[in-house]
Amino acid sequence: MTCFTLRASGLICPTGGELRYHLVMKPGMSSLSCYRGRFAPSPTGPLHFGSLVAAVGSYLDARAAGGEWLLRMEDVDEPRSMAGAADAILRDLESLGFAWDGEVAYQSRRTAHYRAAFERLRLDGSVFACACTRREVADSTLGPDAAPRYPGTCRNGLPPGREARAWRLKVGPGMVCFDDALQGRVCQDLAAEVGDFVVLRADGYFAYQLAVVVDDAEQGVTHVVRGADLLDSTPRQICLQRRLDLSQPNYLHLPAVVNAAGEKLSKQTRARPVDAIHPQASLVAALEFLGQLPPADLMGADLEDLWRWAIMHWNRSHLPRCRIAQAPAEF
Ligand code: GLU
């Protein structure tokens, strides 16, 4: 990495963020690192095994590299956020022994930042107002995997008599590709598969795609480690980063956790909340899911020892190289 400008207080990253010294040294590891990771749960319900895996994976990848780990509550979608869920997630993370750097960021308090980015896009003609309803888009063109693709109805102006609802980013032709640290090279023909996508929603909230890009850049995030259920969103985010002249973080998409029916764990699929009262069992299960195999005696160890082992032994090459994997039965 090309980021090492040493200062008394730490390191200056290309993104301008300062990083601290890491907590646990691995043998042979440099004592300085330029890595800022994050965990960004949506507070739509309690922490479940799927979100725990993303938390553990992003935490260990950051700490093993000597990096920082930030926490961001992705409550930009206020209608979907559940009262009390953000606090419950924070309490659970604390009980599970996670230690984050700095203050927790809340997307619901960052609207001005999203608006500034949106205004930039509007002024340079990158976005347009769209009158189409969800139903109209769903009833129109389908992309290759049968997902609705925006057919460009309002790209050149609203149809007569229709009113603006959402704002969409104009997507140009060509593949958007990136090298994922686990999944390898990923490419998407955004125009053919997704089409112009929403950045400001009909209900007035900024879309997740815009918020995440603005936040990752402004928070100086250098590495995004998250579930592969978001792999399809990454080309949209890269497209936005390019339009907004923001640097592109490194990506690593962990296998997304599914239940026995192959459904992604979520509140809708009635995923069980993680047991933060007995954190060892949940953490060991998450480590095993990630191919990191703690010795049996660590199950009874105290949390600090478990984390110390996990940071020391974190090994990306043991991660399962797949996009989805099944949760253990108890989750
Ligand atoms: N908030 C998203 C979720 O909980 C994660 C977004 C991200 O990591 O970029 O699924």
Condensed to tens digits (0 to 9), the pLDDT of residues 201-219 reads 999 999 999 999 999 999 9
For residue 83, count other CB atoms closer than 10 A to its CB.
7
Q: What is the pLDDT of residues 18-53, one digit of tens each?
A: 333 334 444 444 445 699 999 999 999 999 999 999
Name the residue with the closest Cα to ligand 1, atom 6.
40
pLDDT of residue 19: 38
* Cα dihedral 68, 69, 70, 75 in deg (nearest 10): 160
Distance 307 CA to ligand 1 centre (A): 23
Phi and psi at residue 288, to the nearest 5°: -65, -40
pLDDT of residue 193: 94
Distance 41 CA to ligand 1 centre (A): 5
Distance 114 CA to ligand 1 centre (A): 17
pLDDT of residue 274: 93
Distance 300 CA to ligand 1 centre (A): 31
Distance of alpha carbon 314 from alpha carbon 175, whole angstroms: 33
Question: Which atom of ligand 1 has the smallest separation from the CA of 39?
Answer: 8
pLDDT of residue 246: 98
pLDDT of residue 261: 87
For a mutational test of ligand 1's pocket, the pick from 213, 215, 230, 269, i.e. the residue with the most ligand atoms closer than 8 A to its C-beta, is 230
Question: Which atom of ligand 1 has the smallest separation from the CA of 54?
Answer: 8
Distance 96 CA to ligand 1 centre (A): 19
pLDDT of residue 32: 54
Query: Please, what's the b/e burial string for 157-190 (b: 16 or more CB within 10 A of its CB; e: otherwise)?
Result: ebeeeeeebbbbbbbeeeebebebebbeebebeb
Distance 115 CA to ligand 1 centre (A): 20
Coil, strand, or helix at residue 126?
coil
Distance 218 CA to ligand 1 centre (A): 17
CB 240 within 8 A of CB 170: no
Question: Which atom of ligand 1 has the smallest separation from the CA of 74?
Answer: 1
> What is the side-by-side strand order in the sheet with 166-169?
127-130, 166-169, 197-200
CB 173 within 8 A of CB 194: no
Ligand 1: which residues within 6 Å by Cβ? 40-42, 74, 212, 226, 230
Residues with pLDDT less than 70, the chain? 1-33, 143-144
> CA separation (Å) from 138 to 133, 146, 169, 201, 300?
9, 10, 18, 16, 51
Distance of alpha carbon 263 from alpha carbon 271, whole angstroms: 10
CB 48 within 8 A of CB 88: no
| Structural domains in the chain plus CATH codes | 36-111+210-326 (3.40.50.620), 113-208 (3.40.50.620)
pLDDT of residue 270: 80
Give this prediction's pTM. 0.90
Phi and psi at residue 315, to the nearest 5°: -140, 110
Both tokens assigned to 233: 């969103």
Question: Which atom of ligand 1 has the smallest separation from the CA of 226?
Answer: 8
